[in-house]
Amino acid sequence: MLDRIASLVAPAAAAALLTAALPSFSSLAQTPSKEPASVLGFTVKDIDGKDVPLSKFKGKVCLIVNTASQCGYTPQYAQLEAIYEKYKDQGFEVLAFPANEFGTQEPGTNEQIKQFCSAKYKVSFPLFSKIVVKGKEIHPLYAFLTGHATDPKFSGDIPWNFTKFLVDRKGEVIGRFLPKDKPDSPELTAAIEKSLSEK
């Protein structure tokens, strides 16, 4: 009789231990995803190689631009600086990401890029380390910006230097502008002003 009771208890105890040791399906389902839900979820390196969480720009309207120093559109640096100076006190930021994917028009080091932007265009908005914005080695931020699943309204490969993404105060992409679209164009400045007016 005791042997029979022991044989019944042992499997039950083992099952209880196993259940306690393994997470339930519901708890697995509730595990949060590590994929950022917005631009603000990424951390990038500035032009000096220091980590910068983009969450520091929460509450600001940002224009994210892939830049190059030897491009026909390079003079847009001056226009980017002008709109930054015009709107920065209202909570506007320009975030520049040098990239060398198009015509190898950004061959320099981060130090050379920083020096060029400072000396030639007096850039005072944030510059970030050179990254890849297209192809197999694409940076996670640009994979997010151009991916259909993460940015369905404005997805698609970057066509050239100085493609622009407008991001609202919540970190959501609300506009995309072509390289030929000048930073101080009526269309872009109207979009910036509209976003800045929304608190």
**All structural domains of the chain with their residue ranges:** 39-196
Annotated catalytic residue within 40, 63, 71, 188: 71
Q: Encode burial over 2-18: b for 16+ CB neighbours within 10 A, e otherwise.
A: eeeeeeeeeeeeeeeee
Domain 39-196 classification at class level: alpha beta
pLDDT in tens, the chain (199 residues): 445 444 444 554 444 444 444 444 444 444 445 789 999 999 999 999 999 999 999 999 999 999 999 999 999 999 999 999 999 999 999 999 999 999 999 999 999 999 999 999 999 999 999 999 999 999 999 999 999 999 999 999 999 999 999 999 999 999 999 999 999 999 999 999 999 999 7
Cα dihedral 38→43→44→49 (10° resolution): 170
Q: Is 117 a catalytic residue?
A: no
pTM over 0.75: yes
